[in-house]
Chains A and B, each alone.
Chain A
């Protein structure tokens, strides 16, 4: 069974940093692209970042470019999101999502809440 479990969320002050993790199991992690998608409270879904299966190709949404860094450790079956210079508008539930054939997200974690507030 495919499982994605996010961790690392919490309360952080504006301008602060946080590192999210996503532990994957039930599939060959190193064979799949991965993504981070977020959802602000009461709002819709927003794609944040993509990383290829090898980690060699990375994309970001304009809203986080230069502040967030996606990475993965295929030996540890783990995906990461380093978030720096956090803003109030980054407050959201962050989901890791497995990419399939690039264009869709076929499995999602349960999400981890990031709150940016003083």
Chain B
């Protein structure tokens, strides 16, 4: 199975900061990567799909990049509403499985 590893696990940042979260796959997944935001007690929300496509309605300060095994989610200027946990997720078309990273919590510095 493909493993997804996010780093860091926790990130402390201030409003206005540029924030980058990395997700690494144990083998190439082309661009089959999505990013989600989850706030406490709430369902995850899709932010980015196919590594770099912004989901409709998501602020443009969110962006994704990468392909193969290394991917990044960038928040260009952190806003108060962005303090949350972020998950990457891959789809393996061979094994027909979906796998999430362990999550990155973005907290207030």
Contact = CB atoms under 8 A, between A and B. Distances in A.
Contacts, number: 58
B89 A104 contact: yes
A106 B46 contact: yes
A75 to B, nearest CB: 26
Contacts of A103: 32, 34, 49-50, 91, 98
Interface in B94-108: 96-103
Interface string A35-77: 1010000001111001000000001010000000000000000
Contact of A47 (B32, B45, B98, B102): B98
Interface of A: 35, 37, 44-47, 50, 59, 61, 95, 100-111
Interface of B: 32, 34, 36, 38, 42-46, 49-50, 55, 87, 89, 91, 93, 96-103
